[in-house]
Structure 1
Amino acid sequence: MALLFFGPGYLACAQDIDQLKIGLQADGRVIVPTNQVIKPAGKQVTFPGRPVDLAFLEHGKITAIKNMHDIVFVETASGKILQTVDIPKSKLSVVGLVNVGGKVYVSDSMGLMQSIEFDEDGFYKLLPALPLEKIKLEGEPDYAGIAKLSDEQIFVTCTRGNFVQLVDIKNQKAGQIIPVGVAPYTVAVVSSTKAYISNWGGDHPKANDPQRSSSGTPTRVDERTGISNHGSVSIIRKENGTWKESKSITVGLHPSGMILSKNSKRLYVANANSDTVSVIDTDTDEVLETIFCRPESRLPFGSASNALALSPEGGTLYVANGTNNCIAVVRLSAKSSEGMGEGRPEKSQVLGLIPTGWYPGAILLNAEGTQLIVANVKGLGSLNQKRIAEKGHNSHDHLGSISIIDVPDAKTLAKYTEEVNTNNRLNYSLAGLEKPRPDAKPLVIPQRHGEPSLIKHVVYIIKENRTYDQVLGDMKEGNGDAHLCIFGENTTPNHHKLAREFTLLDNFYCSGVLSADGHSWTDSAYVTDYLEKAFGGFPRSYPDDGRDPLAFAPTGFIWDNALLHKKTIRNYGEHISEEPYFPKGTRWTDFFNDYKNGTRKVPITIKINDAALKSHTHPTYPYFPLHAPDVYRAELFKEDLKAFEKAGKMPDLILMSLPCNHTDGTTPDFPTPRAMVADNDLALGRIVEAISASSFWKDTCILVVEDDPQAGFDHVDGHRTVAFAISPYTKRKYVDHTSYNQTGMVKTIEMMLGLPPMNQMDLSATPMRGCFSAEPDLTPYKVVNNKIALDEMNPPLKKLTGKALFWAEKSVAMNFEQADVADEDTFNRILWHSVKGYDSPYPERFVRKKADGE
């Protein structure tokens, strides 16, 4: 734990950021893998985790912080951490923390109401949990937002049960269930007989509404994108001793945090997927005003306005813009402020911005209105290590934070606003909105969105879960650590040859940390509040396969962008359900035999989760589980490529999953980890070889990236990963040290295909211009055959002893049927020892604890 003060430092321009490495800089700034700088105002209190909610105790002297697995208590004035109360085996939900009579109540996604009190010894202690209503759906109920009704009763929402529960805290009894909308987030209590509930998914769909299931509940969706397109606030009233929903008010998308004015005449609702705040008159229950909270009105979607605080006099609203890493300071209009009509503007106005940590997700304002407390969900990124001064980080080293900020005067607010806009590259973003020039000459990556490109086809290959050092750390040409390389040139000869023959990218980063957010970054260059706050356990869904319409940005995915602009697409594996696609009893060797023999004896049945992709998806190309090797997948693509050649036409955008470098650990009946990575390597090499030998090579670019780094180790940063840009225009035998990330790869695709940006993240991203030249080199790629037998199998348990048996048993106990279900730290140890040897010391400096039994 640390207390950090960010002193004065120069402001970064886009070019400056592009030359730096991700992480803590010498001047105190933090560069994060989303093209942004973190330089928060005020005092920073840091701690392990990802905080999602705040509550004041002792009249604001103490701030309680709801974290991933614990509650942190901080002395507000000094920022001193007083105590951390662990909640064992808990999965704390996305929001839900309240102080009632000095006792802290905390919602648990597993169906428990946790409570903490200050004991006579001067410590906060955890009390026995109160079980709440169970739901009939499989999985955890995900209890979330809490609000005080009285000193004896509280409300708590259940996002998967679609209800609010009344809890008798005096007698420790769970009470009435009140059905509301889809995925209720939190509660605002007006009186003893009336309350409001924000519904993340809006109203329940009617029979004829386009709809999909979100965590077991039908949810209204956009017919084109299949993504949730409704948000609402339910009103519940108490009549004749019983609470029930009386009305629903339509607001923006993903309504989340709410706050009432002093006399409860106005309700403010933050709509995270609309970048707005809805202002509701609580007498008429009508929306009076919708306030846009983006830093600049010309910007597209992407601010994630998700939490609120209100000044004591009711004239100023503070809005947490999660994706902008700031608090928007809004001067409320006459109609939107309670009893303050004189001198108020006709429309509410964003006066300025206050810089915070990474992704502010909760705000408190002290009683005097002089100090803001902000919970930063991602804090300072992956810097939670006792070894901050050392090299090397793990992407799961979450270092959460709160910012304690004095409310600024007008002069200071102007300075803060300039800092926020510089940190988010506002001028660069606005320049990116310039219209295409009609006389622009074709370039590989045009200067503006919509201008012509020399590239006509993009093949976008998404692999699974490796850091740069794990694969390319042995390349002397780049910034690698050979000691951390476990799948080096002997295992991945094609990765190494591609890096040498084309461009080696040694400063490329995943924007996320695991598959749930990783596939959102690769496919839409954005991650919603719904996902950013779910790291306590992902109780609603783990939507790397696109299964949950509530999880994604309303602007859709790169394929939606392409289809909307009349581009042709073909999909191989993205948004395919993670479920067995083969008959029961099928083994990996059955698919491998089909590959070797060129047969199709094993039938494949896939389920496509995205309606927009259904008519564009290969009907038998699988995703997870990893029973089919990647060379099998490569053959499916090559068959299509021959058909494209015959027709003289290839899709403009091809999406492809190559997941087998994830591996199945040392599980018997599956290949060894190095064999599965070798399979992935050979498949990639063959795909590149086939495309480079085709008639489409002259104007095709192959972009390759890992979806996430899977808590892997890297001596620069845990987000750093393996990526390629392969085309006739790619610089040959070149090393590009430019800082790129997944949002920039998405932007590169957009610019090559003449597509507009989808949101603020891809708009502000750096396209991958540095690795391309103006003149083409049409020399085709020649694949390197595998050096590791693809069917080098893990031995059965009965043939193992000692540490080999120990780790194999750990592997068998894991769930590899779905991405990222297996414990990542244990999994990385299995991979390390399987390659390096069971007596080779694991690089402990990249983890927080030693594994049991090691």
Structure 2
Amino acid sequence: MTFRPALAFVLSGFVASAAAAQPPEQPTAILPSGRLLTPVGQLAQMPNFPTQLAVRDGILAVLTGGASKQQSVLRFDAATLQPQSGVLTLLDKDKKHAAPGATVAQGAMDTSGSQERASVIHDQSLFQGLAFGPDGTLYATGGNSDDLLALKPEPDGTLRMARRYALPWQPFPRDQYPYRYAGNWQQPRHFYPDSVVIGPGGRHAYVTGMLANSLARVDLQSGTVDTLNVGSYPFAVTLADGDRKLVVSDWGGNGVTVIDRERWKVLGSVATGPQLGAHSFAAGAHPTALAAQPGTPLVWVADANLDRVVAVNTRSLRPVRVLDDSPYVGAPPGSYPVALAVAQGMLFVANAGNDDVAVFDLASGRRVALIPTAWYPTALAVQGQTLFVASAKGMGSGPNLQHQWVGNSMQGVVQRIDLRELGARAAQWTQTALRNDGFDAMQRRKLATENAAATAWLHAHIRHVVFILRENKTFDEDLGKYAAAGQWADPALALYGPRELPNLFHLAANGALFVHFFADGEVTSQGHQWTTAASDSDFVQRTWPLYYSNRGFIANSGWTQSLAPDASGARNPYAIYKNLSALGHWSNPWITYPARLFLFNDLLAHGVSFEDFGEFASRNKIGDISPALRAHLAMDYPAWDRLILDTDRAKVFDHWVRSHATDLPRVLYIWLPDDHTAGRHPCLPTPDSYVANNDLATAQVIHSLSTLPSWKHTLVLLTEDDAQSGADHIDAHRTFAVAAGPWVKPGVLVTRHLSQVDLLRTIEAVADIPPMSQWDANAQVLSGIWRQRPDIDPYPVLPMQVPMQRNPGVCSADAPFAHLPVAHPPVSPTEAAARLGPSYTPTALLKVSGPEQMRQEWLASKGTKAYAAMLAHVQTLAHTQHRPQASLIAGDD
């Protein structure tokens, strides 16, 4: 069945919903990766991306915080999951979402006739920390508001703010990662509180500061704050050893920091993963959640990047036990344990990557069950015989009345699971969880047999594979007018067509077009990790909503970038590889890396030749790229920069590839980013111009390859990094992929459910290297698209049919693209104002939300009437298909 809430209530601009009981038929959803979701127990929906749970005296509290400037703390009846009351926080920009002058948002009537209410707090954000005090006060961490909120229930049942505790930024040692403040140096520095625990008697709150490498002790009566330096990017804090100790997990370190609570003194640090120095190139362990084992000095630590849980003795300051959290023997990383709970002699582990909760018997260390959850479980809590689980992405692109962007439209889900059923259902639940992910032994054997046959064909015919990555398009956005796709294409949602994309349409007609193909992530920061690592990391998943909603966090998604936007080299597209000092203060994204790093590292480790044109490369903790990896970077190929056209990138590639015609690497990775466009930014090329130029450059790259002696044994794979900026009549995660080359059968429509990780698995098969994660290890090697004899004719380049123009605006004579003619604005003043409206800047383009990009491109390319008609068509589709608009469209953020 399609999952829909039985009850919905609206809290000032966002939708929360709850189900009074588990539906008779178990809810089911299919993820972009093709994995299934069949969460068990009783379910309730809520706003996007819940990150923490707290339960006390029959009340379940949930903190949510998606990629918007609205977060919330919601309260539910723990026995029924019926909503009680909540607090909605808004930043200044979003005051319009609250009723004018109102402090209580009006809600819909539930089935019992009671009215749900939520207090509204302005100028406030929240971030993943939530705990009850002994008197029932809820404490929530404030993220870039740099405070701790005390929330109390009123006699009328509403939840209201009682007090704010300010938490100022604290300096940290210069030899501690990230070695410098990881934020915008031109703005106030943030403590960024992200986890909280309440001390004995409720006198103190202990709060971690993610951007200050600090732990704060807050006197809840006086408001006095004391701080200690702990490890880098502190994540969680817990009491331990009879409340005598505090333990902090160091997200950007490789272990935990142990503190004497009474003496307020750091006792030492304990490594839970391999010791990594400043010059280490390996990815970190990513210690996340903590859970103290009652009656012992032990604290369990979730090493999210290593798929294991480590017991630390807080007296001896040593790791004493390790539990393997892999789903099956020999599995690569990807479980991502990120939440823990200890109860009834068992350890409960939320596996965000595998959409389940692993249950371990603490006495034996044996895994006794896997419990299926919704998408990306992020928090656990146990009360009596009940396990509560919050999942950040719920059942996928679910209902949302106002926020339709794929990045924040996926409502969260909380599950209520009766642990008294665990004994009888452990085997059934475990088998279901494994099958949902394709991890059942029979499934893996069948896939291995199929992949072996597909790989054997590739080894006999393909020696070189070329991966071309472009930016941010859905299938319908680019190929809605491709008639040969039939029911897989919707021309009403096509923003571009054969006029702007003649070469893409030619590629589709003369190669294999994947029409049921999905992006595994929601946004660019995830997309480039999925297309280079067949995974992203828990750090990226938790933090990308912060900078996409401008909540005080600098994007840190794999690229090194300037933290001082006005530095002389901040826009230098070569500086990240050639001259970091030109960037001024710069970010080092080492903490973002998944366990086995990226395709380039895998190729290097196995002696496979490759060249990287424009994509990021992994660094060590102090920011260096290894000499061995640097040797495979096309240093003269420009990275992200809206002032450089993709046809110029194609020229650089052509020069390079001709100079290596006789020794072409086995793998080429090429980033052509200009179809992202610059929206309506004045004086930069119009969206149509950028898209058409990108299309021409793509064809030029393939043509260059087709003139080489190696072309006969070359495979070209083309796709987009994500699908966040357009509408699609099948799914908001759907994009497209094309396979081209002498051995690819022309005009093939591939209708199998595939995603980006299947392309990575195929590249690995050609290169004969092992998979990097659980996703590509269980992905499909492409097959069924090959012809019997190769066609080695040079690939044609169809000319641009769109003139190069620039957006209207006042441009200086020496401004970039000043030589281009101005696209004439429409005659209508209203239309002209709409097209010339607010625009985003070149330096911020990678973090622009999909809806804003989509809106600007539609308005600039087709105008307001066409944009309105497209939105109306989506509404009709959603109504006809009995599905939410959020599952079809990037929408309006």
**Whole-angstrom distance in 2 between the partners of 1:413 and 1:506:** 38
Aligned to 2:129: 96
Aligned to 1:839: 865
> Which residue, out of 420, 424, 435, partners 2:437?
424
Q: Is the 8 A contact 2:469 2:670 kept in 1?
A: yes
Q: Is the 8 A contact 1:6 1:39 kept in 2?
A: no
**Whole-angstrom distance in 2 between the partners of 1:436 and 1:419:** 23
Amino acid at match of 1:200: W
Aligned to 1:795: 808
Q: How many residues align?
A: 743
Amino acid at match of 1:410: G
**Residue 470 (structure 2) pairs with residue 445 (structure 1):** no
Listed one character per residue, the Cα deviations across residues 670-728 of structure 1 (whole Å, up to 9, x for unaligned) are 11100000000000011112212221111111111111112421111111112111122
Aligned to 2:94: none
**Residue 271 (structure 2) pairs with residue 250 (structure 1):** yes
> Which residue, out of 652, 657, 670, partners 1:636?
652
Amino acid at match of 2:595: P
**Residue 605 (structure 2) pairs with residue 564 (structure 1):** yes
1:65/1:851 CA distance change after superposition, 3 Å: closer
Aligned to 2:154: 119
Normalised by the length of structure 1, the TM-score is 0.82
Comparing 80-89 with 549-558, greater Cα deviation is found at 80-89
Aligned to 1:213: none
Listed one character per residue, the Cα deviations across residues 366-387 of structure 1 (whole Å, up to 9, x for unaligned) are 1x2x111001122111223359
> Which residue, out of 375, 379, 396, partners 1:362?
379
Aligned to 1:381: 396
Amino acid at match of 1:148: I
**Whole-angstrom distance in 1 between the partners of 2:517 and 2:626:** 29
Aligned to 2:770: 756
**Whole-angstrom distance in 1 between the partners of 2:546 and 2:124:** 5
Normalised by the length of structure 2, the TM-score is 0.79
**Whole-angstrom distance in 2 between the partners of 1:304 and 1:468:** 30
Aligned to 1:409: 422
> Which residue, out of 81, 84, 87, partners 1:85?
87
C-alpha deviation, 1:627, in angstroms: 0.6
1:726/1:444 CA distance change after superposition, 3 Å: farther
Aligned to 2:101: none
**Whole-angstrom distance in 2 between the partners of 1:170 and 1:411:** 48
Aligned to 1:532: 541
Report SS of the residue matched to 2:49.
coil
> Which residue, out of 811, 817, 823, partners 2:843?
817
**Whole-angstrom distance in 1 between the partners of 2:714 and 2:287:** 42
C-alpha deviation, 1:409, in angstroms: 3.2
Aligned to 1:475: 482
Unmatched segments (≥5 aa) in structure 2: 1-15, 92-122, 172-180, 185-189, 274-284, 548-552, 561-587, 812-823, 876-884
Aligned to 1:627: 643
Aligned to 1:233: 256
> Which residue, out of 796, 799, 824, partners 1:782?
796
C-alpha deviation, 1:756, in angstroms: 0.8
Report SS of the residue matched to 1:723.
strand
**Whole-angstrom distance in 2 between the partners of 1:714 and 1:637:** 32
Aligned to 1:61: 59
C-alpha deviation, 1:453, in angstroms: 4.6
**Residue 751 (structure 2) pairs with residue 737 (structure 1):** yes
Q: Is the 8 A contact 2:513 2:736 kept in 1?
A: no
**Whole-angstrom distance in 1 between the partners of 2:856 and 2:690:** 14
**Whole-angstrom distance in 1 between the partners of 2:658 and 2:442:** 42
Aligned to 2:214: 163
1:410/1:698 CA distance change after superposition, 3 Å: same
**Whole-angstrom distance in 2 between the partners of 1:543 and 1:287:** 31
Q: Is the 8 A contact 1:352 1:417 kept in 2?
A: yes
1:434/1:64 CA distance change after superposition, 3 Å: closer
Aligned to 1:519: 528
Aligned to 1:602: none
> Which residue, out of 495, 501, 518, partners 1:509?
518
1:741/1:612 CA distance change after superposition, 3 Å: farther
**Residue 719 (structure 2) pairs with residue 705 (structure 1):** yes
Aligned to 2:499: 490
**Whole-angstrom distance in 1 between the partners of 2:353 and 2:890:** 31
Alignment RMSD, CA only? 2.8
**Whole-angstrom distance in 1 between the partners of 2:593 and 2:626:** 12
Aligned to 1:40: 39
Amino acid at match of 1:629: L
**Whole-angstrom distance in 2 between the partners of 1:815 and 1:46:** 36
Q: Is the 8 A contact 2:678 2:845 kept in 1?
A: no
Amino acid at match of 1:634: A
**Residue 353 (structure 2) pairs with residue 323 (structure 1):** yes
**Residue 200 (structure 2) pairs with residue 145 (structure 1):** no
Q: Is the 8 A contact 1:94 1:536 kept in 2?
A: no
1:849/1:382 CA distance change after superposition, 3 Å: closer
Unmatched segments (≥5 aa) in structure 1: 10-26, 203-230, 334-344, 578-606
C-alpha deviation, 1:197, in angstroms: 0.8
1:515/1:573 CA distance change after superposition, 3 Å: same
**Whole-angstrom distance in 2 between the partners of 1:611 and 1:94:** 38
**Whole-angstrom distance in 2 between the partners of 1:106 and 1:802:** 48
Q: Is the 8 A contact 2:706 2:794 kept in 1?
A: yes
C-alpha deviation, 1:421, in angstroms: 0.7
Aligned to 1:280: 312
C-alpha deviation, 1:657, in angstroms: 0.7
Listed one character per residue, the Cα deviations across residues 764-791 of structure 1 (whole Å, up to 9, x for unaligned) are 11232243345433343211100001x2
C-alpha deviation, 1:131, in angstroms: 2.0
**Whole-angstrom distance in 2 between the partners of 1:123 and 1:444:** 60
Amino acid at match of 2:395: L
Aligned to 2:557: 543
Q: Is the 8 A contact 2:555 2:847 kept in 1?
A: no
Listed one character per residue, the Cα deviations across residues 186-212 of structure 1 (whole Å, up to 9, x for unaligned) are 11113565211111122xxxxxxxxxx
**Whole-angstrom distance in 2 between the partners of 1:535 and 1:382:** 17
C-alpha deviation, 1:802, in angstroms: 3.5
1:489/1:30 CA distance change after superposition, 3 Å: same
**Whole-angstrom distance in 2 between the partners of 1:767 and 1:72:** 44
Percentage identity across aligned positions? 25
**Whole-angstrom distance in 2 between the partners of 1:364 and 1:38:** 21
C-alpha deviation, 1:835, in angstroms: 1.6
Q: Is the 8 A contact 2:197 2:206 kept in 1?
A: yes
Q: Is the 8 A contact 2:527 2:721 kept in 1?
A: yes
Listed one character per residue, the Cα deviations across residues 199-252 of structure 1 (whole Å, up to 9, x for unaligned) are 1122xxxxxxxxxxxxxxxxxxxxxxxxxxxx111111256xx52211111113
C-alpha deviation, 1:641, in angstroms: 1.6
Q: Is the 8 A contact 2:402 2:892 kept in 1?
A: no
**Residue 691 (structure 2) pairs with residue 691 (structure 1):** no
> Which residue, out of 322, 333, 342, partners 1:301?
333
Q: Is the 8 A contact 1:748 1:768 kept in 2?
A: yes
Aligned to 2:615: 574
Amino acid at match of 1:509: F
Comparing 797-806 with 626-635, greater Cα deviation is found at 797-806
**Whole-angstrom distance in 2 between the partners of 1:737 and 1:434:** 21
C-alpha deviation, 1:474, in angstroms: 0.8
**Whole-angstrom distance in 1 between the partners of 2:232 and 2:624:** 23
1:684/1:841 CA distance change after superposition, 3 Å: closer
Q: Is the 8 A contact 1:93 1:534 kept in 2?
A: no
Q: Is the 8 A contact 2:63 2:128 kept in 1?
A: no
**Whole-angstrom distance in 2 between the partners of 1:67 and 1:396:** 9
> Which residue, out of 630, 634, 644, partners 1:614?
630
Amino acid at match of 1:60: G
